[in-house]
């Protein structure tokens, strides 16, 4: 049995999907994220070309802002991919002395951040599938709000 504190640093999310095939969600999501170094290079190229062309400051500010938002979105997507699903094992002890079992399928929730909308794929725990979810370690570790909106919004 894993303890809630064991969720810190536990990111392996390799367990069967509904068809019984095993895959690693972290790696799959990682490949979907644009390269942060490529986006940084694009930002630097934009600034260099803007200076060479003598663009007005307000146009350069707008262009930098757009590039920084793209970079932030890619960085946040990478953070979420590296965070995994919050799987802490097949069973978790609860503070009241009972335990909760890992549900057979992951659950998703929408998360609206300053960088756009994301879907969090989370391992959830409860008495059994179809009943109330009693623990979502990823939500706890990331300290996301109960609603869909980031605390920054």
* Nearest CA among 101, 74, 98, 77 for reference residue 90: 101
Expressed as residue numbers, the domain containing 124 is: 88-153
Residues 95 and 59 in one domain: no
How high is the pLDDT of residue 21? 34
- Give the count of beta carbons closer than 10 Å to the beta carbon of residue 100: 17
How high is the pLDDT of residue 33? 54
How high is the pLDDT of residue 10? 36
Residues 59 and 107 in one domain: no
How high is the pLDDT of residue 127? 84
Q: Does residue 47 carry a pLDDT above 60? A: yes
Residues 41 and 71 in one domain: yes
In a domain, 109, yes or no: yes
In a domain, 13, yes or no: no
pLDDT digits (tens, 9 = 90+) for 84-141: 999 999 999 999 998 999 999 999 999 999 999 999 999 999 987 677 899 999 999 9
Confidence of residue 49 (pLDDT cuts 50, 70, 90): very high
Contact criterion met (CB below 8 Å) for 109 and 148: yes
User: Which residues share a beta bridge with 23?
Assistant: 15
* Nearest CA among 4, 30, 32 for reference residue 94: 4
Q: How many domains does the chain have?
A: 2
In a domain, 37, yes or no: yes
In a domain, 11, yes or no: no
More confident residue, 2 or 51: 51
Residues 95 and 75 in one domain: no
How high is the pLDDT of residue 128? 73
Burial of 88 (0-12, 13-18, 19+ CB in 10 A): buried
Residues 101 and 79 in one domain: no
Confidence of residue 4 (pLDDT cuts 50, 70, 90): very low
pLDDT digits (tens, 9 = 90+) for 19-45: 333 334 444 444 555 689 999 999 999
More confident residue, 63 or 22: 63
In a domain, 49, yes or no: yes
In a domain, 121, yes or no: yes
Residues 70 and 53 in one domain: yes
């Amino acid at each position: 049995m894993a303890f809630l504190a064991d969720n810190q640093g536990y990111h392996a999310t390799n367990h069967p999907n509904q068809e019984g095939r095993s895959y690693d969600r972290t790696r799959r999501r990682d490949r979907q994220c644009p390269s942060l170094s490529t986006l940084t290079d694009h930002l630097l190229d934009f600034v260099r070309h803007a200076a060479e062309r003598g663009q007005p400051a307000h146009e350069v500010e707008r262009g930098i802002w757009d590039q920084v938002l793209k970079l932030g979105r890619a960085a946040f997507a990478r953070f979420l991919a590296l965070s995994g699903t919050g799987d802490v094992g097949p069973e978790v002890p609860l503070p009241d002395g009972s335990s909760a079992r890992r549900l057979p399928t992951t659950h998703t929730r929408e998360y609206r951040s300053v960088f756009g909308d994301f879907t969090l794929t989370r391992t959830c725990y409860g008495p059994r599938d179809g009943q109330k979810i009693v623990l979502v370690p990823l939500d706890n570790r990331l300290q996301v709000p109960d609603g869909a909106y980031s605390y920054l919004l």
